[in-house]
């Protein structure tokens, strides 16, 4: 039985940069208000011709290049998204086609902003079931700009579009994944939702008129959930893994809101850990936010082999998803950013480390 870990990272942010001034008037707020309330200055927007699978495929290609693998080496593709290309088929099936991973199984996971960590846990479990052999592409990708009411200041100012990916596979020794902790809190399912478009409220002229296909969020309820649940979830995972709070080197959280993350940070009580943030320049990219930030930290050279890295997702469902690993990815490759016509631009990845 091989240990399983993250072999490489990759990400893609669309070319178009949307700064606060561009969205403030429609949302009925001042640009400075957006930054003060969210810590966000700008975000990326997908081009009209781009779907979630397009962003995901570019991120996947970059992760494959960094791992020194071909698409044909991949056994499994798991795409975490809550903005799929279509209700069906799975967006992962389209990514499989776009990347040329002809022999890979392909499946979507929707745990909203915890989705990437859930997808990681699924991929690790499936690889373990075959003795630790094989490789998986785990991708988080979302285009929230397509489901926002841009007049709603509670949601329109928070989100950006993007995709991040990792290649997961066998690693040496005791490195790789240490433990995961996934938990649903379904009693809070109304805090974040898109009310219409599914089997409970199928699409109709009335649901469109009522704006029920837009993303909605109870911001205060979400904040209470995050500050109440995440610190205890982190503490429990560390206890389960037999690690102390001072043994975590890096925290890569879901980039929900910069102000919220800075309030949450002291409550996590991780005295040696570096907090990695991309929210200022990328905003909240849903299930993409953890892998986009992870890739940014890796490419910045912040993650060293053997470092203990905690990935923390939380959001709609409500769900929490945590994964703890010892870092195993080698030095990041430097692919040519405009080499793939699907990319639509260079997609640089800003990062900050606290």
> For 52-77, how does the pLDDT look when each residue is reduced to its tens digit (9 = 90+)?
999 999 999 999 999 999 999 999 99
Mean pLDDT of 320-327: 97
Stretch (H or E) spanning 117: helix 115-129
What is the chain's mean pLDDT, rounded?
93
Distance CA 160, CA 42 (A): 8
Encode burial over 290-315: b for 16+ CB neighbours within 10 A, e otherwise: bbbbbbbbbbeebbeeebbbbbbbbb
Report CA-CA distances (Å) from 191 to 62, 126, 143: 35, 31, 20
Residues carrying an active site annotation:
113, 254, 284
For position 190, what pLDDT does the model report? 96
For residue range 115-151, what is the model confidence (pLDDT) as tens digits? 999 999 999 999 999 887 899 999 999 999 999 999 9
The span from the CA of 28 to the CA of 121, in Å, is: 41
Which residues partner with 3 through β-bridges? 171
Domains contained in the chain, number = 1
341: pLDDT strictly greater than 50: no
Tell me which DSSP letter residue 86 carries: S
pLDDT of residue 67: 96
What percentage of residues in the chain have a pLDDT greater than 70? Answer: 93
Strand boundaries in the chain, DSSP class E: 3-12, 16-19, 42-45, 76-80, 105-109, 136-143, 161-171, 176-184, 192-193, 216-217, 250-253, 274-277, 308-315, 319-326, 352-353
Task: Name which of 147, 315, 280, 309 is nearest 215 in CA terms.
Answer: 147
Residue 177 reports pLDDT greater than 70 = yes
Q: Above pLDDT 90, what percent of the chain?
A: 90
pTM value is 0.94
CATH code assigned at 140: 3.40.47.10
Average pLDDT in the 309-321 region? Answer: 97
Return d(Cα 116, Cα 289) in angstroms, integer: 9
**pLDDT, average across residues 1-18:** 94
Helix, strand, coil percentages, rounded to 5, for the chain: 35, 25, 40
Give the pLDDT band (50/70/90) at residue 333. low
Judged against a pLDDT cut of 80, whether residue 351 lies above it is answered with no
What per-residue confidence (pLDDT) applies to 92?
98
* Domain encompassing residue 344: 3-353
Within 10 angstroms of residue 55's Cβ, the number of other Cβ atoms is: 34
Average pLDDT over residues 11-31: 96
C-alpha 205/C-alpha 185 separation (Å) is 32
Nearest CA to 42 among 29, 23, 68?
Answer: 23
pLDDT of residue 132: 79
**Could you tell me how many residues make up the chain?**
354
């Amino acid at each position: 039985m091989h240990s399983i870990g993250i072999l490489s990272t990759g990400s893609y942010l669309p070319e178009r940069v949307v700064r606060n001034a561009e969205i403030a008037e429609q949302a009925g707020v001042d640009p400075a208000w957006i930054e003060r309330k969210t810590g966000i200055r700008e975000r990326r927007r997908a081009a009209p011709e781009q779907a979630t699978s397009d962003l995901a495929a570019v991120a996947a290609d970059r992760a494959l290049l960094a791992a020194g693998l071909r698409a044909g080496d991949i056994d499994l593709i798991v795409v975490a998204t809550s903005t799929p290309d279509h209700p069906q088929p799975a967006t992962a099936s389209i990514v499989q086609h776009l990347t040329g991973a002809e022999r890979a199984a392909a499946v979507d996971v929707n745990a909203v902003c915890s989705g990437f960590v859930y997808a990681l846990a699924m991929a690790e479990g499936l690889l373990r079931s075959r003795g630790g052999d094989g490789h998986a592409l785990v991708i988080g990708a979302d285009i929230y700009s397509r489901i926002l009411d841009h007049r709603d200041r509670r949601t329109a100012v928070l989100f950006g579009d993007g995709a991040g990916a990792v290649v997961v596979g066998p690693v040496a020794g005791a490195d790789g994944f240490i433990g995961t902790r996934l938990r649903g809190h379904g009693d809070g399912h109304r805090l974040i939702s898109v009310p219409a478009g599914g089997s409970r409220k199928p699409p109709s002229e009335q649901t469109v008129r009522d704006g029920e296909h837009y993303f909605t969020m109870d911001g205060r309820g979400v904040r209470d959930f995050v500050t109440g649940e995440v610190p205890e979830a982190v503490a429990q995972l560390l206890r389960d893994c037999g690690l102390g709070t001072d043994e975590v080197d890096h925290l890569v959280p879901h980039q929900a809101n910069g102000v919220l993350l800075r309030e949450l940070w002291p409550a996590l009580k991780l005295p040696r850990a570096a907090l990695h943030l991309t929210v200022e320049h990328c905003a909240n990219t849903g299930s993409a936010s953890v892998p986009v930030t992870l890739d940014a930290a890796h490419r910045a050279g912040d993650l060293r082999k053997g470092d203990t890295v905690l990935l923390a997702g939380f959001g709609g469902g409500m769900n929490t998803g945590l994964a703890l690993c010892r870092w195993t990815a080698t030095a990041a490759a430097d692919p040519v950013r405009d080499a793939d016509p699907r990319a639509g631009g260079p997609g640089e990845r800003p990062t900050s480390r606290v």
